[in-house]
Structure 1
Amino acid sequence: MSADKVAEYADGLCYTDLMAGYYLGAPEEVLQAIADFSAWFFVWDDRHDRDIVHGRPASWRHLKGRLHAALDAPGLFLYHRDPLVAGFADSVLRLYSFLGRRWNARFARHFHEVIEAYDREFRNRTNGTVPKVDEYLELRRLTFAHWIWTDLLEPSAGCELPAMVRKHPAFRRAALLSQEFAAWYNDLCSLPKEIAGDEVHNLGISLIRHDGLTLEEAVTEIRGRVEGAVMEFLSTEQEVRRFAESLDDGSARGKQISTAVSSCLGNMRNWFSSVYWFHHESGRYMVDNWDDRSTPPYVNNEAAGEK
């Protein structure tokens, strides 16, 4: 974004507001780092999109490699000439400062998977390949970065959770449902833009192409999935709450873990309201106000990459 477009559009995109509504109770420096990382993620998503639209595979391959490298050694990329790479390195270095090496390694492992998922989306969109519904849903968990946003619950709660907690079926299910809701609701709100742009990565487009649904039927199906995620979360939430209570065994450590799980669960619930609000307040999805329904007015098509 050019400076004048930043002044005109940045606040209205509400990127940092989305995170502020999700990670409630996080220390200020943690919330700021997450909010900055979230803003970076949206910019990266738009760069990825423009590289596809303008046929810049070399630009994307170069960026992909630099992001993988910066994830493993962020200190080496703080002053990279591409501000997207430098911004990523800065965000990662700050996020790595809050918890321990195991959390950092897990975050890195999860984000390496996200980068590779973006590469698969690049190939699908370049080739015009619409994934089948099940394939798309699996890939969407990575391109939406389900486990990244879940990982970030822990520094917000000030506690790295043991594997036995993170892998508890109810805890993991609640985390997945909060993110599935967000990804599917995003697809619903993005559908007009992505149909206008002749895109292939959207649950609605997969339903239309592979299940033979009409546009109206696809919208109804996505809404049903969104509502189902809400209802199942409400049921699963009660199980996680009981699990959190059981972790308080009278020891200081037990109390700490129990409190952290309750905090994480509360913010999983916050994800629903924050995501819903964001999609109706952010200028990112107000396609009816754009001259071109496929392209946000704040995107600089000539920025970065091959010309």
Structure 2
Amino acid sequence: MASTAAGRRRIEAGYGRFVAWTYPTATFEDLCICSEWLFVTFALDDLHTHPTYDSPDAWEPHHRHLMAVIETGRHERGMQLTSFTRAIADLSVRTRHKVSATFYARFAHHLDMFFQGFSRESENRRRGTMPALKEFLQARRLSVGMEFGFDLVEFRGCPRRWSQPRR
């Protein structure tokens, strides 16, 4: 990385130290699980902003299917099976095996909130008008994934006083 200007900027930014401080006791597998969830949610964020989903009616079937996969680790009959949804099912199962049932239920609920934010943004795009500031802020708070993001910080290495997932 040090051989290019972009690589040197990344090193200077200290991302490695940030990750080490955020996940001080995480195993390689733990870090992979966290990074995979971040990848999945970034990919879904890009997908939901495609004009195809400029209506909540178009987004909602995907929302329901994704939540079924996340909650069960399996696919619903009649829904399209893709390598992406197969990967989400696998990731859900691997995550569930690392944490308590309570933690995973909270995590899944927070992912559902994230997808609800997508629905709100789809509705705003369908209407073609800028929502009121309060509504905009509520939708953005959901759609940026703050809640599940904090769950990932807690996933490994969180202080004992928090709701620590089981190892």
Does TM-score exceed 0.5, indicating one fold?
Answer: yes
Separation (CA, whole Å) in 1 of partners of 2:86 and 2:68 = 12
Identity, % of aligned pairs?
23
Matched, 1:62 2:61: yes
CA drift at 1:20: 8.6
Structure 1 residue 104, shift from structure 2 partner = 0.7
After the TM superposition, which segments of 4 or more aligned residues of structure 1 sit over 3 Å from their partners?
18-24, 53-59, 158-163
Alpha-carbon distance in 1 for matches of 2:139, 2:146? 10
> What secondary structure, in the 3-state scheme, does the structure 2 residue paired with 1:157 have?
coil
1:47 matches 2:54: no
Q: Taking structure 1 as reference, are residues 159 and 98 closer, same or farther at Cα in structure 2, changes over 3 Å only?
A: farther
Q: Quick check: 1:19–1:34 contact (8 Å CA) kept in 2? A: no
Contact residue 114 and residue 142 of structure 1 kept, 8 A: yes
1:148 aligns with 2:148: yes
Residue identity in the other structure for 2:105 = A
Which whole-Å deviations, capped at 9, do the CAs of 1:146-173 have from their partners, x for residues lacking one?
Answer: 111111122221677546xxxxxxxxxx
Which position in structure 2 is the counterpart of 1:117?
117
Q: 1:38 to 1:103 in 2, by over 3 A?
A: same
The structural deviation recorded for 1:47 is 1.2
Taking a change above 3 Å as real, the CA distance of residues 53 and 118 of structure 1, as seen in their structure-2 partners, is same
Question: In the TM superposition, what is the alpha-carbon distance from 1:142 to its structure 2 partner?
Answer: 1.0
Greater radius of gyration (CA):
1
Distance change (3 Å), C-alpha of 1:55 and 1:130: closer
Q: Which runs of 5+ in 1 are unaligned?
A: 1-13, 164-256, 258-307
Alignment of 1:143-222 (within 5 A): 143-157=143-157, 162=162
**Aligned AA for 1:49?**
T
Equivalent pairs counted in the alignment come to 146
Asked whether the equivalents of residues 118 and 143 of structure 2 are also in contact (C-alpha less than 8 Å), the reply is yes
**Contact 1:36–1:91 (8 Å) recurs in 2:** yes
Q: Which residue of 2 aligns with 1:106?
A: 106
Are 1:20 and 1:31, in contact at CA under 8 Å, matched by a contact in 2? Answer: no
Closer, same or farther: CA 95–161 of 1 in aligned 2, 3 Å: farther
The CA deviation at 1:59 is: 5.0
**3-state SS in 2 of match to 1:75:** coil
**Residue 104 of structure 2 corresponds to residue 91 of structure 1:** no
- Residues 91 and 44 (structure 1 numbering): CA distance in 2 closer, same or farther, change over 3 Å? same
